[in-house]
Amino acid sequence: MEKKELDLVLVPIGLVIMVSYHVWLFYRIKRHPKTTVLGINAINRVAWVKAMMSDPENGILAVQTLRNSIMAATLLSTMAVMLSSLIVVLMTSNSVGLSSGGNSEYGGGIVYGNSSKLLLSIKFFAILLCALTAFLLFAQSVRYSNHTGVLINVPFKNQAPTITPEYVGRIMNKGSDFWSLGWRAYYFSFPLFLWIFGPIPMFLCCVVMVFLLYFLDISNHPVLTRAEAQNAENERSA
């Protein structure tokens, strides 16, 4: 196999591994949320919203907590914009040879794979797409966090029928979902960045990242409800 053909084999396989893992994770979150960190956090956020809305004195604590989330999402979205600007500069710079035309290769013998300038532009564009996607997702996370900050302070006696702790918890979880998706966009940009150095580092990064994400996403200690915990305690005592 010629080295230029490695990009046609290793890159699609690496992307399929990443996408397949996230499809499986999405299925597990929907079917068995208590066995995933994302599912457990979503359940706990709803419980936290109920605790905050049950006592009006918790309003300041709730707003401060949401403010921290907004500040973190704002920082990450700013980083995404800065990364996008840097990539655009590199794509239009003569230092990488993209604006000079021609079909000469870059990197000499360092890059083991297809080293044409056309493919280099595709690599930079893929990283740029991930950065812009991360920016949009974190911006949506800020939006839903702002909505949560308003709704969570509505007094119980003045609540409309639709403004319940469950409803506010769903709004907060949507913001958290966008937060998680923004991080996933960053995660996808890592293998694409290593693709600049060849398909082999990109493929290895996909495999290692899926292995690490599995231990970050899956919980070995599922959350039990009070009834389930009581039943388990009764079985142990019996």
- Per residue in 130-181, pLDDT (tens digit) is 999 999 999 999 999 999 988 888 766 656 666 788 889 999 999 999 999 9
Residue 107 placed within a domain: no
Confidence at 104, pLDDT banded by 50, 70, 90: very low
Over residues 30-57, mean pLDDT: 89
Residue 43 placed within a domain: yes
Residue 197 placed within a domain: yes
Residue 121 placed within a domain: no
Q: Average pLDDT, whole number, for the chain?
A: 83
Amino acid at 66: L
**3-state class (DSSP) for residue 159:** coil
Cα dist. 190→14, 37, 137, 167, 210 in Å?
Answer: 12, 22, 17, 36, 12
Confidence at 3, pLDDT banded by 50, 70, 90: low
Count of beta carbons in the 10 Å neighbourhood of residue 23: 10
Q: How many domains does the chain have?
A: 1
pLDDT at position 39 is 92
Residue 74 placed within a domain: yes
Q: What is the CA radius of gyration of the chain?
A: 23
Helix axes 117-151, 59-92, angle to 10 degrees: 160
Residue 132 placed within a domain: yes
Q: Name the pTM for this structure.
A: 0.82
CA atoms 90, 19, 219, 185: torsion sign = positive
Q: Range of 69's domain?
A: 17-51+62-99+126-218
210, two tokens? 């899926």
Confidence at 7, pLDDT banded by 50, 70, 90: confident
Residue 236 placed within a domain: no
Closest CA to 168 of 74, 62, 64, 26: 62
Over residues 187-215, mean pLDDT: 92
In what helix (H) or strand (E) does residue 26 lie, and over which residues does it extend? helix 6-31
Over residues 65-80, mean pLDDT: 92
Residue listed under structure tokens 């800020």: 142
Residue 29 placed within a domain: yes
Q: What's the CA gap between 46 and 55, in Å, rounded?
A: 15
Amino acid at 210: V
Confidence at 72, pLDDT banded by 50, 70, 90: very high
Residue listed under structure tokens 């812009």: 132
